[in-house]
Every structure is written in C-alpha cells, then in structure tokens.
Amino acid sequence: MLELLIAGFLTAAVLSCAITPLVRKLAPSLGLIDLPGHRKVHVQPTPRGGGIAIFLGLFVPSVVVVAACLMIRAGQFSGIDQIVDSVQSSTQRLTQFTAIGLGACVLFFAGLADDRWNLSWKFRLALQLLVAASVVLAGVRATVFVSQPWFGCAATVLWILVLTNAMNFLDNMDALSAGIGLIASLTFSAILVVLVKTPAISVALPLTLLAGSLAGFLIWNRPPASIFMGDCGSNLVGFLLATLTVTGTFYENSGSRHVMLAPICVMAVPLYDFCTVIFIRLSQGRSPFHGDKSHFSHRLVELGLKPAHAVLTIHLTTLMTGLGGLLLYRVQDWTGAALVLALISCVLAVIAILETVGRRSVNEMQETLAEVRGSGIPAAGAAGQQYPAHQQRT
C-alpha cells in the first residue's frame, strides 16, 4: 500500500515537472501571460497556466489506476486489488469519485478560460455553485451529525465554495498556493493511511497524486517563479481538497466524532486569509472579489518581510495548524479537541495582533515621514542634524 502511494507521488511529480516547462513555452501563444499591475507583486510579464501541468500530472496516473480497476474486474490483471477494493465494492464511492472527477474538469477548464479571457466573477461563482451542488447531489456530502439532510448538503456546498476560492485567493505570491496545497494534501493523506482505524486508501491515493503533481510544479514555481499556476490550478487544488476531505469521512474511519474538525484545522490558514480578506474588502465598501493587496501574504510584506520570507512564514503556519489536525487523533474526547482548537485559535490570534499593530505602526511612520518631507525639514541625520528618537526611527 505504501509503495503504491510513493510510486504515485513520484510519477505525478515527474510528469508535472516535465510538463511545466512545455506549458511555460506555449503560454505566450495561448495568451496565458500575467502582466504586472498595481495589485501584483511581480514586475515582469510571467507565463501562467501552470495548472495545466498540475492537472495532467494528476490526470494521467488517475487514468492508469482506473484502467487497472477495469482490468481487475475483467480478470486480466491482479496485484493491486487490495488498493481498489474499496472503490469496486461500493457503487456509491464510485459515483462520488466520478462526480468529483467531472467537477474538477469543469472548474479546471473554467479557470483556464478565466486565465485567458478574465471571466466575470459572478459567472465563475455561479459555475462553482452549480458544480458544488451537483457533487453534493451525487453523494459527496457530510452529515455534520444533524438529522436534517439539507443542513449537511448546505454545509458541504459552502465548504466547497469557500475552500475553492480560498486557494484561489492564496495564489498571489510565488509558491504560496501550491505549497499550502502540498502540505494539506500530504497531511490529509497521512491521516487516511496512518491515523484512522480503517485506512481509506481510495481517497488517500488521489490526495497523494495531487501532492506529487504540486511538488513537481513547485520546482518551477519557487521564488523567483518562472510560471504561475493561474486560476485553472488554484480552482482545481481547492476543489479537490474540499471534496476529498468530505469523501474521506474521517470520523467514520476513526470512530471519534471530534476528528471531523481535522479538515478545519489543516486548512485554518487558507480559511483565515479568506475571511480576513473578505472582511477588509467589505469594510472598505468594495466587492469581496475585487483583487487587491489585502491578503495575508501582502500584510506580512507590509511589515517588512521579503515575499519569499512571507511565503515561508505562511507555509510554516500551515504546517503548524496541520499538526494540530493530526493531534486530534491522539485526544480522546471533545475536551481535548477543544484544547487543540484553542491552541490553533491562539496562533491565528497572535498573527492577527502582530499584523494589526505592525501595519498601524508602519502607517504612522509613513505619515510622520510625509509630514517631515512636506515641512521642508531635512530628514534625520542630514547635514549632521539630529532629531528626537521617534523621528530617527521614522
């Protein structure tokens, strides 16, 4: 079982790594170029569409697995029946995977069209809602331990919409969204293989393939990136993480209800970025889908971090919250789960405080500097003149 996961990871990584430079070369002729702008970090036109490599790195091995399943059913091949038993023995699981695969393709191609023609956010959101509802109707839904089916359906649709857009929001700096997707997919795969009582290999395998595909793409997307994943990649990654976490049914395999919080813990950073960005934009009277530099990564850069260091900080924070999700499987009840949630909440609260105070201090220093320049007084240190300490810091 472990050998198959490792082989799948390496295969997806090699495919994605090999395809990415080809996509980068073809991007200008396809119109997939991300131009610099006031809300962009990069200063040179950069190819995008790296999601094509991620998609193919995931799609090709998946086709091989599906072909193997069909061959096993026909009695022409054996050897990995332990891996595909859970899919073959459950018509419902097969229906779920079919719906997820079709939904992923729809959002991938919609994202690719958006990368090329800059589609309206209203159209994109409506399409995401349609895909999410279709997937839920196909059986990909969580009960959330509520007797009314509509509540679980609504919660699952909301989860898919939020996570899909959250990963899209995070695609604003080199290696940021791809790195978080890699950490999250590996964490979920580890949960489903190692920590649960009944390993869900049928869900862990696509998560591992996704992780491998992202790892191969990151070779070209690391700072300074030579290609961006684009909306086709971020939509694909967010949708797959959202739907596969629901399909994984962590609480059913573990026997403990409190572990249903694991996906929220692992994805705490994308959710934090999504919620804070929406709040900032709405509080300023702007559309929540109007791009700007109010993201978590941009706020860290405003505090003085280099973009690469800001990305590394967010990756480490994601890893920290992901470890909190793993810790849920070592606590026995809701009391222990509450402590884990409190720990993660404190981490995010500390970050929020540092951001708020740090940004306020930066703004005050900029205002003070502007006043000094406007008054015609030489800056501190000019011509040997000394000013009070607070002006010197400015």
Give pLDDT tens digits for 186-195: 999 998 888 7
- Mean pLDDT value of segment 305-334: 91
Rounded to whole angstroms, how far apart are CA atoms 250 and 262?
8
The pLDDT of residue 384 is 43
pLDDT attached to residue 115: 94
pLDDT of residue 366: 60
Give Cα separations from 128 to 55, 105, 245, 267, 365 (angstroms).
Answer: 18, 12, 17, 19, 43
> Quick one: pLDDT at residue 58?
95
**Residues forming beta bridges with residue 33, ordered by sequence position:** 47
Q: What pLDDT score was predicted for residue 78?
A: 46
Which pLDDT score, from 0 to 100, does residue 85 have? 53
Q: What is the rounded CA–CA span in Å between residue 197 and residue 132?
A: 29
Share of the chain above pLDDT 70, in %: 80
Q: At what angle do helices 51-73 and 230-247 cross, to 10 degrees?
A: 40
Query: CA separation (Å) from 362 to 281, 300, 350, 366, 393?
Result: 20, 12, 18, 6, 11
Matching residue, tokens 């500390």: 350
Q: Per-domain residue ranges for the chain?
A: 2-373
Q: What pLDDT digit, counting tens, does each position of 257-281 carry? A: 788 888 999 999 999 999 999 998 9
Which range has the worst mean pLDDT, 48-62, 91-105, 159-173? 91-105
Q: Sorting pLDDT into bands at 50, 70 and 90, what band is 371? A: low
Is the pLDDT score of 94 beyond 90? no
Amino acid type, 29: S
- Residues of the chain with pLDDT > 90, as a percent, come to 54
If pLDDT is split at 50, 70 and 90, which confidence band does 147 have? low
On the question of pLDDT at 59 being above 80, the answer is: yes
Least confident of 5-14, 172-181, 292-301: 292-301
Over residues 241-247, the mean pLDDT reads 93
Is the pLDDT assigned to residue 389 strictly greater than 60?
no
pLDDT at 13: 97
Q: Model confidence at 168, in pLDDT bands (50, 70, 90)?
A: very high
pLDDT at 41 (0 to 100)? 67
